[in-house]
A and B are shown apart, each in its own frame.
Chain A
Amino acid sequence: MLLLSHPVPPPRPFRLRLLTTLLAISGCAGPYPQSTLHPHSDFARATDVLFADIVWWAAVVFVLVDVMLLVTLVRFRHRPDRPAPKPTHGHTIMEIAWTLAPAVILVFVAVPTVRTIFATAGGAPADALKVQVIGHQWWWEFKYTDLALTTANELHIPAGKPVRLAITSADVIHSFWIPPLGGKRDAIPGKTNYIAFRADSTGDYSGQCAEFCGTSHANMRLRVIVESDSEFGAWAQNQLASPVVPPKASLAEQGKAIFSRSACIGCHTIQGVSPGTIGPNLTHVGSRATLASGLFPNDSAHLASWIADAPAMKAGAIMTRMKPPLTDADIAALVAYLQSLK
């Protein structure tokens, strides 16, 4: 009887196998870097377990109702010799039963739901790594509150340590989402939302903005690099260091000069060089793997085209073409400088 048997979700391997089989049938193969079904943190696992629970209840209800419907359709299909149907108008006991049945099932969904709501409300131990996440059209800024460290689009965190993200926005509403590490929270101007989690293991996860935020909403991606404690420490150490000073008479030094006298300084910070805060902090831009909010590899060819004409590479990009345009030689020097900022 439906009411008495709470279908316990089978252990994960089975469920994953089921999904993988389904996906294999449809011709898809992994890995799925943004999958919500492959959780890699306590937060993501909590929501996944809850979802699995609901899916099994839903599957049971779906099969029951649809089998009932199909049996009815086949058994009572029109036949010329069928006598006129009895004009039943209703049945009180049955009405009560099928009002209560879904209500009882929903209690089984509601109780773990409320538990999980409070468990994932964004609270974290005092020693958690605190990062402020600021959404911009169309990139992400990360400020490590206790480390006085600012970077963009690539979030580094240590594995196994609690992390608390304080999420807000500098312009319109965005939504911060790294599916393998947990559910999304909106980045809203004038409001701060919190996510707390502990990543299971090291790895490179991708995510992206989930709230429509204008022209390049599709291109507002991000990466999260979960590292071992020591790797994270080394990374933070490097980010805290002053920016590289290019050797005298090098191409990079020319690049620094061009950077310093161009409009670049109005928007970008390079510590000790420029104070702009509209665009991403470039103090250690050479250490990042991607460009333009996770769209392109950070190599000289892409960086050169990006500096020359960003809107051509990313619809609506706010970094416009320089007026008067930079020469190819200027761009080559800028690329050399920015890439030296490891």
Chain B
Amino acid sequence: MKSWLTTTDHKRIGLLYFWTAFAFFLIGGVEALIIRAQLAQPNGHVVSAETYNQLFTMHGTTMIFLALMPLSASFFNYIVPLQIGARDVAFPRLNAFSYWVFLLGGLFLNASWLVGPLFHAGMLNVAPDGGWFGYANLTERPFSPGPNIDFWVLGLQILGISSLAAGFNFIVTILNLRAPGMKLMRLPTFTWMTLVTQFLVITAFPVITVGLVFLMFDRFFGTHFYIHEAGATPLLWQHLFWLFGHPEVYILILPAMGIVSEVLPTFARKPLFGYTVVVYSGILIGFMGWGVWSHHMFAVGLGPIADSVFAATTMLIAVPTGVKIFNWVATLWGGDIRGTTALHFAVGFIAMFIIGGLSGVSHASPPADLQQTDTYYVVAHIHYVLFGGTIFGLFAGIYYWWPKMTGRMLSETLGKWHFWLQFVGMNLAFFPMHFIGLLGMPRRIYTYPPELGVAQLNLVSTVGAFLIGVSVLLFLYNLVRTRSRGQRAANDPWGGATLEWSIPSPPPVYNFSVIPTITSRLPRWHTERHKAMQDPPATPPAPIHVPGGSWWPLVAALGLPVMALALLTHTLWIVFAGVALLLFGIYRWAFEPFEV
């Protein structure tokens, strides 16, 4: 127990990220199933309007900030140092700090479900209810007087600190801790996409932080950043939010694209087709992701010139994305494709992501988008991208790297059941939503009249959602079963090309007994120009010093939710307690003796 609380080992932190994010993924999933139960028929009565608004807000917030981003982070933590031949990340204690802040931020947000009575309201009454996009001025105090939005603003601020700290940490790690010979253009694609993602994190999160600080000041200190009557405009929030929000989409999808670019070559036994092009298109997507935010705002009325420009930039971003897809198919072409579960999910990613990408083109066109935005058509689109895309990619990563992370193989039979159930479930759940939206059903409505004619389609969608639920339970069973009964994994169960497969599964605490020297992009494969590398010896030739754990990242992290509590309860002295805790943690951390 103590060793987990104080750990600074990137592998343990990776596993902590995984289990925490997976728990939040289940919570977000239950929220989705209640939403689908409510919408299974017209005039549904499963939950009230107030509860429904909290459910969809928390579903979106949870899935994006507490499930998908940290599930990617679990692989950044576990896999990236192994792929670049490092013994840990650049700042191991900062890494622990990132995790604890994420955990505490997630608990803080979700506590809002339970603590209603402390605010003279019922349970299930004070969770955030302004949507994951939290549009001002609805989220201003006059229209949202309760603590609901306070939880959201403060929770996201806390989570932003976690993401920023991790972002800097991984950039430094990837740039500075590469094994000798691992030039940038020899980095594995997953590590490359991680690097691009972290640059997006450190540039996009400050934007939402500014937006949230403005909103926080409006709500707590009476400023008027988004209040039209005081001469401002609520549209400022939308610009800030989507200026963050669109890069965020790529923060969510690029890691999954990186995973797919690792899984396909391994199971086709062929190098990634067009490695350079795939890497550069990832970088290009990272840059272009900054120039498209207003496509979330075509209905806002920015004028025909702005609409035309943002339509063009948005359509352009489809080009590097399409290039990636063609390169993946070309990677498979001519290969010897082994249909493992990981490959199923990676191919599923391609097939589903295309649908999401193409529907994306249809709302890149502003006039068409005026009929689609804020309808179920967009709900279909984002779920093809984030479920069919990101989640399929993450599952590909889990089936691929689980043997490395735990030393045991997940059951392939259960894995394929999981894949096919989830594949059918997701298409049943999300494909009908295209029609539901085109037939005129807006998003974020807790009820709809039978006259809309979308009842049967909604019922099909609900059935699909529950099928996804079953598939996730099956996956959970697979995880639990594997702990005791999974087949033991060798160093390299799949025949992978990258460094993580050259060391034991799970790796020893020091990772590499000897830091390898890299001479090729595919160090473990024999190619026309390069021989396969020699795996590091099983035991280190000399003892390796491994730093011990530290309590101080956890202590410092605890200061943040305490500070948030001060605002939530409007109690000044608590803020001093929180700041004191944070500073004390940082001070002790800074002056911690190097040897523990």
Contacts and interface: CB of A to CB of B under 8 A. Distances in A.
B368 A22 contact: no
B460 A26 contact: yes
B362 A58 contact: yes
B476 interface: no
B270 A210 contact: no
Interface stretch (A151-159, A181-189, A240-248, A261-269): A181-189
Nearest to A106: B315
Given A84-B336, A103-B319, A73 B445 contact: no
Interface residues of B, number: 98
Contacts of A44: 371
B301 interface: yes
Contact of B452 (A34, A184, A193): A34
Interface residues of A, number: 97
B50 A215 contact: yes
Contacts of B307: 117
Interface string A87-125: 111110011001101110010011001101110110000
B235 A188 contact: yes
B323 A90 contact: no
Contact of A218 (B274, B338, B447, B454): B447
Contacts of A218: 49, 444-448
Contacts of A182: 370-371
A72 interface: yes
B453 A89 contact: no
A126 interface: no
Interface in B308-344: 308, 311-312, 315-316, 318-319, 322-323, 325-327, 329-330, 332-339
B440 A209 contact: no
Given A182-B370, A185-B370, A191-B235, A85 B269 contact: yes
A65 B325 contact: yes
Between B273, B318, B442, the greatest number of chain A beta carbons within 10 A of the residue's beta carbon is seen for B442
B338 A117 contact: no
A114 B308 contact: yes
Between A84, A88, A209, A213, the greatest number of chain B beta carbons within 10 A of the residue's beta carbon is seen for A88
Contact of A118 (B304, B350, B432): B304
A121 B304 contact: yes
Contacts of A89: 271, 273-275
B527 interface: yes
A27 B456 contact: yes
Interface of A: 19, 22-23, 26-37, 44, 46-48, 50-51, 54-55, 57-58, 61-62, 65-66, 68-69, 72-73, 76-79, 82, 84-91, 94-95, 98-99, 101-103, 106, 109-110, 113-114, 116-118, 120-121, 137, 171-173, 175, 177, 179, 182-186, 188-191, 193-194, 206-219, 315-316
Given A47-B367, A117-B304, 18 more contacts: A23-B457, A26-B432, A28-B457, A33-B452, A57-B361, A65-B354, A72-B337, A82-B336, A84-B336, A85-B336, A90-B277, A90-B327, A101-B322, A113-B367, A117-B308, A173-B234, A188-B301, A210-B442
